[in-house]
Structure 1
């Protein structure tokens, strides 16, 4: 009943804004003439497999050309055939593309060729891994005269095979084999390259685990390059959408971006965003205590990150009480991203990609128990809603009830996340998505003196709770509701439109005893009792038009879009004096005094952003990225007790450009320039409004695909944040500010991820970050930014036995190092470095998987971060969690 009432409340609130939303929808369809196509976002990637099969001439074929095969009669089948792999093999005259399936004779084919492109639709088939996940195949310049071959899921029950010719459509022969349906492609240019040779080139059978493709017989001055990419169920992800809002290979993006894929989340049993971000160099988690209501807190490249996206849309509460059971992967874009997403943190952007419906039925159940009374269960269900699979669903539900190593603390979390997708015709897809989270947590910290710093009375217990056992003395309750849609329409193979909307409702209430000061005896901690609540509402509407076209020999992928957003909140808080507590002999008596003051505030922010981006391919190995965005915003703040109100508006331009040069196909050298802005609300002494904070980044680096399964990035950057508020020196102590502050971060980042050897996967990175205050009236220039170590290192590696009686047994090892870092901007004290070791052992047999994870294996006593000298956050001690999962 509560859930129904909550959903009804969401509907009523949406109806109240219906006029504004419909206006946005009308605006979103005005630029249809500029529409362009974007690849559908993928889930998990399948390893590329390239083997040698029989030559076309050696196989008895039922048809010798496309026309004959299309003309053959076939009995329609309502069954959707699953194609479990796509392979590519060079031949003496061209290339073979194999759609691997045991039911090749059931495939129906429709010819949709046009212009220079061979296009074939297979309307009763889907690309699916054995695990049920979708994948995409792409081969760039597989032979002379063909620029690209793609095999994709066109809709819920159709595979589309496309071969784009340079001057004319390639010649295609199709036939069945024991492996599946085979497309044999040749062009006049490829045949010309294979003129009589003085000596035939011997054919070599490739092992099935070989990562390098077999090259065609050498007979021309230039060898034919065969590059194949596809979705993988592993540690390396070749594509991401966050950096460009298009599905672009990571090696073509002139900015550092890293993806934490589903397999890593599963192997580490990650349920919190902070734990996922440990795998990203340059990202430092600043809150490690499980069950702490402060949410997921982290810095990127030295700066606090408040920018969290969900499927590309801004999510102002994305780091609150996050449960990852419905998250497919985490994408992290380093550096400013205002050119696409508007105002945000200069350090980087975190984009959470949610799990999407599958056409093949998929059912998974998981149960976990662990240290400190940890219990968690999760269910993941997906499949079709109707026989023709035009309607799909996915439902993720999880519940956690856990204690903590800290006295009297608890952590409860319920998540319900349904998703529905509908294929409306051949070119339109509508996805409806919702989420509800209910969480109960605590506010947990300790003073620095007696933990990080020495105390003459001894050391404070790491598990001390300064509030007490009464739930009314320390609790946080949060409710988060999300509901929205995504509409994708393909006007053609080159132009598409995407329109998305999301509404977010957030309720927070708390009651906690907070520290105010420590007496000179360093035993007595003075406290206040803080009680209150606030409610947030956020609405986001975004429309993107993406298109591919050419101007002569130059190729373009153009993105044009705009977004509208509204964010509002209302808060009510009250503070009272409370009894102090003896840190070494605690007596939990709050003894409430008189109110210290009631606060009742509100805020409303409306924003509009318009952006354009062009990804330009000057040649096959030289690419440019140009983008610019204009933002306008208005914020109105109110004091509801004093019945006063103030408004402020502003605007900002945010450019970005970059260049990628590829001396060899697997190596990319890149350089980029980007800017960001963050609104600053308030006025100076002369009542002039503040300008937005700005950040400017210069970055150079190199990306390399060492093979089809492992990639690496090395980046160098210089990032400057300006217009930072600092005290007005002409009016010291009078709470007036000026924007002369400046902070600078520069550093080096390296990351590597993928499959090194069969069964051996790794995700690792190193970051050197030099983040300082360069100009300020309050803090000393040269001071280091707080919670930012100069050196940090992360490594997670997993090995799974591939054959024999122990097949399915695996081990995982994680090493995480964080160096010394300053605890505040005054640099008054330092948090010591720590080296944490994690481990895992798992065994999977068929649909069953058993796993045990060990965190902080050697029980290192460490501290994640600090807010000030009264608030430092202890890290998690040694914990064990065992998980049993079953999937079908």
Structure 2
């Protein structure tokens, strides 16, 4: 019955042509309609104001800086109000992007370490083609480094007024020139009245969180805002220790120059970390996924008290409670001023500095018998002499038949910094507007990696450490460790980008507008790198202690001196059929330069010739769309085709980087909208159909040809539908909402041998406004406790077969209760 109902609902997004933006959105304040205020909205209560339809919203992302109505944008953009964010109840910053069509966001890795894919752009993980901005400035210019993607450096809290996301379009011209997805976080600012909010929330898995903000005037033309959050808990997947802890504080001061412009200074400090969630054992039976015996797929985790603090074979003490997160300070200034009639100056400058570390327990392979592990560790003919618990408990029941597995304690330290400046001049004359600008970014990352460090574990949640002795008295473990560091990095990277851009917008008639622009960018990287030497060492010189017989050591330093430059350009046309219906078409060509990790693994010859892993990727995009904005209906439909050349990435297999180089193509349709048939009721939805495949794409230096295979981890079909109803009972206003999301079949690997079956996820919530000040809400996530896989085993080439495999499911069922007081 449930499956039948779900299949019936699957037609809803396309029949209703709905949206990620909820019907009862908060309108922008009047000041936000002006160019100088378009980047921010006065910090008012999210429920103040009359309903507005989102075509009237001003969006800044994807524009030269002045903002435009969403209905007038000649590109695909989604805008999410603070209320829409609250109802989506995202588990992390990246999780919110599930609401954006054309985007596949996997947040099953926890608060940090998301994998985000967009419009068939091929990548192996992280968020290679996704840039996050704060107030229109990139948070960190490289969209992805190994073990660091942009969403790790920013959190959603109550200080956020709205989130904008542009796919393709003009993204290759502005900011850091991201041709994929650019997400702009727009904070609240102070205005002429005092506003504020205090909110407390609690989850059924023990997380406690507090949010607060206040904004108001400093004088007639100057306002302030300050706020943030603090939270702590063990997480849905409880490792038996405090795994989630930290907070964020944001402050800004905004001054208006009497209608001619504005200046704003802001600062944000984030110190937050959470458990890095990785694949766990599950059972696969011809595409049907079930839990591994004794291991709850929604809440089970390998980490536990025994693995929290360990000292590895080279004496390094590691605490898994540090998890993955960031301790960073971000500050900036935005300036927008009309120096003369028709002539405006804009400046956006930001600095970020701090640490973004990753500590995790990374499984090596699916559970198997201790006898099989004996052969794997000791070679053919090896048998189990003894198997015991490291921390008491004596011999392990079952001996050679006991189910065990290995996992590595990975430690990645990154000290990062960045400086970004984006300067522009805008000249308007009649129906023409010309903008020219200069973008400069300098960024660094000092890396210290120690991967490998494998331990032998009982195949169970919160696993215990094991010691294994083989026949002949050979010791396969020391305090559970079966190996030392397998892949190490010591590196100091510095990158810089300098770009000139220009764009011209011409309103030919009141209904017809065309635009075009170009960008030239130069990308430079200097680095000093040390990676493992060719030879390994036996730490104690004893061949019978197998655990330390092949420990990697760092080789000598290697210098990298890389530079390349490229042009990007775009042209678009927008035609208003009526003041509520419009169509657009656009062509764009963008580039993605190789970042630190690709250059680390590239050969000197490739770096000198800009080939192989040092190649600059080229992306061509053709897109066109329909936009409908009416009081009772919004519809945004986009057809796109992408062609990719020169893609390059690496995959760590057995602690060895394996290259993946080639091209791809993708064709897709994105739908989003909302229908409001009567007062208080709305149905919103988003859906994507995607046909993306590799073209001349090879793994392992050409050893595996993946041409024709589907691009990994991106489904053909994905959609979500959200009905919502709000009743007005005088001083009490209850509302109910639910979201059903469908994610189609995908493959975890480019070889298309690790199937990730389709799944449905059901979320729902109830909120009650009591008077003008109090709001109570409860939201439930994954109410049916679905086992939906988002990742297989990314550290192998090829399939895992049937039976017990490694995979990363979505989080299990959970509930959040909150109470807010606003003024």
1-side partners of 2:648 and 2:657: how far apart? 11
Residue 708 of structure 1 and its aligned partner are, at CA, apart by 4.1
Instruction: Give the direction of change, closer, same or farther, for the CA distance of 1:471–1:791 in structure 2 (3 Å limit).
Output: same
| Contact 2:22 2:682 survives alignment (8 Å) | no
- Residue of structure 2 in register with 1:789 after alignment: 715
Distance 1:151 1:787, change over 3 A: closer
C-alpha separation between the residues in 1 aligned to 2:743 and 2:301?
A: 25
Q: What's the offset of the Cα at 1:46?
A: 12
Per-residue deviation, 1:806: 7.5
Provide, for residues 14-63 of structure 1, a one-character-per-residue CA deviation record: whole Å limited to 9, x for no partner.
xxxxxxxxxxxxxxxxxxxxxxxxxxxxxx99999xxxxxxxxxxxxxxx
**Structure 2 residue runs without a partner (length 5+):** 1-20, 43-48, 122-126, 141-148, 310-318, 373-402, 467-478, 531-553, 700-704, 795-799
Equivalent-residue separation in structure 2 for 1:674 and 1:822 (angstroms) = 29
Asked if residue 817 in structure 1 is aligned to residue 742 in structure 2, the reply is: yes
How far apart, CA to CA, are the structure 2 residues paired with 1:789 and 1:339? Answer: 25
1:396 to 227, 235, 246: 227
Give, in whole Å, the separation in 1 of the partners of 2:573 and 2:410: 52
Q: What does the per-residue CA deviation read over 1:613-665, in whole Å, with 9 as the maximum and x for residues that have no partner?
A: 11111101111011111101211121256233111101111000011222323
565-574 vs 584-593, greater mean Cα deviation: 584-593
- Match of 2:763? 838
2:389 matched residue in structure 1: none
In the superposition, relative to structure 1, how do residues 595 and 275 fare at CA in structure 2: closer, same or farther (>3 Å)? Answer: closer
Aligned to 1:412: 245
Quick one: distance in 2 between partners of 1:497 and 1:825?
A: 47
Write the distance in 2 (CA, Å) between the matches of 1:610 and 1:723.
23
| Distance of 1:847 and 1:456 partners within structure 2 | 45
Q: Residue 820 of structure 1: CA displacement?
A: 1.0
Partner of 2:685: 764
Residues 274 and 298 in structure 1, CA contact (< 8 A), matched pair in contact too: yes
Which residue number in structure 1 is paired with residue 68 of structure 2? 248
Query: Could you tell me how far 1:278 is from its partner in structure 2?
Result: 1.8
- Give the unaligned 5+ runs of structure 1: 1-43, 49-128, 139-149, 159-229, 728-732
Pick closer, same or farther for the CA change 1:397–1:338 going to 2, 3 Å: closer
TM-score, length-scaled by structure 1 = 0.69
Other structure's SS at 1:341 match: coil
- 2:152 — aligned with what? 320
Q: CA deviation at 1:351?
A: 1.8
Q: Deviations over 1:683-711 (max 9, x none)?
A: 57575223410000111221112x14642
Shift in Å at residue 673 of structure 1? 0.3
**1:617-696 alignment, distance < 5 Å:** 617-639=507-529, 642-680=556-594, 681=599, 682-683=602-603, 688-690=609-611, 691-696=615-620
The offset of 1:560, in angstroms, is 1.3
Q: Is 1:308 the counterpart of 2:147 in the alignment? A: no
Give the aligned partner of residue 296 of structure 2.
Answer: 461
C-alpha contact (below 8 Å) 2:362/2:409 kept by paired residues: yes
- 1:873, CA displacement in angstroms? 2.2
Instruction: Tell me the CA shift for residue 258 of structure 1.
Output: 1.1
CA–CA distance in 2 between the matches of 1:738 and 1:268? 35
CA-to-aligned-CA distance 1:527-573 (integer Å, 9 cap, x gap): 233234111101101112223212xxxx1122211111001100112
CA distance in 2, matches of 1:456, 1:399: 34
| 2:96 counterpart of 1:262 | no
SS in 1 for 2:71: helix
Query: Following TM superposition, by how much is the alpha carbon of 1:368 offset from its aligned partner in structure 2, in angstroms?
Result: 0.7
Report if the CA contact (8 A) 2:278-2:362 is conserved: no
Please provide the CA RMSD for this pair: 3.4
Shift of 1:318: 3.3
Match of 1:506 among 344, 349, 354: 354
Deviations 1:573-600 (A, max 9, x none): 2245332123248423563454446421
Measure, in 2, the Cα distance between the counterparts of 1:512 and 1:153: 43
Provide Cα deviations, 1:811-870, integer angstroms capped at 9, x if missing partner: 112111111111111111211111111111111122111111111122222223345267
- Contact 1:236/1:753, CA 8 A, preserved across alignment: no
**Distance in 2 of aligned mates of 1:738 and 1:46:** 44
Match of 1:723 in 2: 646
Shift of 1:798: 2.2
Q: Would the aligned equivalents of 1:863 and 1:873 in 2 still touch at CA under 8 Å?
A: yes
Q: How does 1:310-459 map to 2 (within 5 A)?
A: 310-316=134-140, 318-320=150-152, 322-325=154-157, 326-335=159-168, 337-341=170-174, 346-386=179-219, 389-408=220-239, 410-423=243-256, 427-447=260-280, 450=283, 458=293
Distance 1:501 1:271, change over 3 A: farther
Q: Select which of 815, 818, 822 maps to 1:883.
A: 818
Please report how far the alpha carbon of residue 760 of structure 1 lies from its aligned counterpart in structure 2 after TM superposition: 2.5
The corresponding residue for 2:464 is 587
CA distance in 2, matches of 1:887, 1:735: 52
**1:460 positional shift:** 4.1
Q: 1:47 to 1:513 in 2, by over 3 A?
A: closer
Contact 2:130 2:180 in 1 (8 A): no
Query: Which has the higher mean CA deviation after the structures are superposed, 519-528 or 822-831?
Result: 519-528
Q: How many residues align?
A: 664
2:138 and 2:175 in contact (8 A); partners too:
no
Q: Provide the TM-score with structure 2 as the length reference.
A: 0.74
Contact conserved, 2:52 with 2:631, CA < 8 A, in 1?
Answer: no
SS of 1:319's equivalent?
Answer: helix
Deviation, 1:748, is 0.8
* 1:453–1:379 Cα change, 3 Å: same
3-state SS in 1 of match to 2:150: coil
Corresponding position of 1:238: 57
Matched, 1:516 2:356: no
Cα drift, residue 797 of structure 1: 3.0
Q: Distance in 1 between matches of 2:659 and 2:291?
A: 39
Aligned equivalents of 2:22, 2:291: Cα separation in 1? 57
2:308 to 456, 466, 471: 471
Q: Decide whether the 8 Å contact of 1:287 with 1:865 is kept in 2.
A: no
Verify: 1:714 aligned to 2:644, yes or no.
no
Selected match of 2:117 from 285, 299, 311: 299
Mark the CA change 1:153 to 1:784 in structure 2 (over 3 Å): closer, same or farther. Answer: closer
Q: 1:753 to 1:602 in 2, by over 3 A?
A: farther
Question: How far apart are 1:724 and its partner, in Å?
Answer: 2.1
CA 455–499 in structure 1, closer or farther in 2 if over 3 Å, else same: closer
1: CA distance, partners of 2:427 / 2:679:
39
Q: Secondary structure at the match of 1:558?
A: strand
CA distance in 2, matches of 1:629, 1:155: 23
Distance 1:812 1:637 in 2: 51
CA distance in 2, matches of 1:675, 1:787: 24
Tell me the secondary structure at the aligned position of residue 444 of structure 1.
coil
Equivalents in 2 of 1:671, 1:689: separation in Å? 33
For residues 698 and 767 of structure 2, what CA distance do their matches in structure 1 show? Answer: 55
Structure with greater contact order relative to length (CA < 8 Å, sep ≥ 6): 2
**Structure 2 partner of 1:577:** 453
Shift of the 137–774 alpha-carbon distance from structure 1 to 2, 3 Å rule, reads closer
Pair 579,757 (structure 1): closer, same or farther in 2 beyond 3 Å: same
- 1:55-77, Cα deviation, whole Å (9 max, x unpaired): xxxxxxxxxxxxxxxxxxxxxxx
Distance 1:298-1:777 versus aligned 2 partners, 3 A rule: closer
Q: Which moved more, 1:631-640 or 1:581-590?
A: 581-590
Looking at structure 2, the residues matched to 46 and 761 of structure 1 have their Cα atoms a distance apart, in angstroms, of 6
Contact 2:36 2:262 in 1 (8 A): no
Deviation of the 1:755 alpha carbon: 4.8
* Cα offsets for 1:158-193 (capped at 9, x unmatched): 9xxxxxxxxxxxxxxxxxxxxxxxxxxxxxxxxxxx
**Structure 1 residues 595 and 668 mapped into 2: Cα distance closer, same or farther (>3 Å)?**
closer
